[in-house]
Amino acid sequence: MAHIGYFGAGTWGVSLASILARNGHTVTMWTRNPAFAELLQTTRVHPKLPGCPLPASITFTSRLTQALDDAEVVVESVTSSGVRPLFQQLAATRVPIILTSKGIEQDSGLLLPEVVAQVVGHNLIGCLSGPSHAEEVIQGLPASVVCSGYDEGVILLTQELFTTPSFRIYPNGDVAGVAFGGAMKNVVAIACGISDGLGCGDNAKAVLMTRGLHEMRKLAPVKGCKAETLNGLSGMGDLCVTCLSKHSRNARFGRLLAEGLSAEAARQQIGMAVEGAYTCLSVYQLAKKHGIPVPITEATYSILYGGLSPKEAVQLLMQRTVKEEHL
């Protein structure tokens, strides 16, 4: 059995760490907040996952070196904006790295596996993605996700570490497609949340999900993705759960925006990272750089960063020139 150094103790992190521990591995889990590390170590329950006790073989710490000491594998679940700063501190590590965060770095346009490869200088990097809310995974409810990586051995390792009777993992060699789908679907989920908050109905949400997937497929070649990967668990699967689930932070964030809250006030009310708000700017930058129209993303960007009201955004989308549907 392996000793895992786990970085990031949010709800998703502790859910996956619980899988690792129940599979017989020991886990040392890092969070930068010493008080929060002490709380988790003492209570053995994440405050946002009440009623879900954490296995005794998980140790919590706020010391980075303690989590890294003797680690045979490194797993991360930090915010997407925190991935580069984290791995700048872990740059000397040469053990396999498994990424579970979903995002695209702002300004550089790099997918998170690309960010980590650039920082650590090796390709022993894998990622785990797909429709999998922490609130259900930690309870052992059935879920299927996909794993990928630059190295076949890391893909197999990810399957071996995380597979359980209720957590099924499909391998996929398209690391760019897996990472991209998991990132961009959060932007579409914000748009769906805005639509729900405005009372636009199920028909409108179906349009946003369908055309949002189309935007994902249009941008996929820019990052070297296989468009068909986006039809799978890390694309359409994750898009469905993030747009439709009561657990979705991104959709809830969109609903709060529609109610009139500012982006910052909405983030504070949610109390956790809203990855779609960060990634929206990254996707907007990529689309502009390559001259690819992505109207749903552009509307969401204009609400978040350009002062456009949600109602005005809906009006602009509905007034667009109708063209033949291309899939």
Residues catalogued as catalytic: 185
Q: How far apart are CA 241 and CA 186, in angstroms?
A: 10
Q: How far apart are CA 102 and CA 80, in angstroms?
A: 6
Q: How far apart are CA 55 and CA 53, in angstroms?
A: 7
Going by the DSSP 8-state scheme, the letter that residue 321 receives in this structure is: P
Q: Which helix (H) or strand (E) holds 6?
A: strand 3-7
Please count the residues of the chain: 327
Mode of pairing for the β-strands spanning 143-149 and 125-129? antiparallel
Q: How far is CA 156 from CA 8, 190, 313, in A?
A: 23, 33, 44
Q: How far apart are CA 34 and CA 61, in angstroms?
A: 7
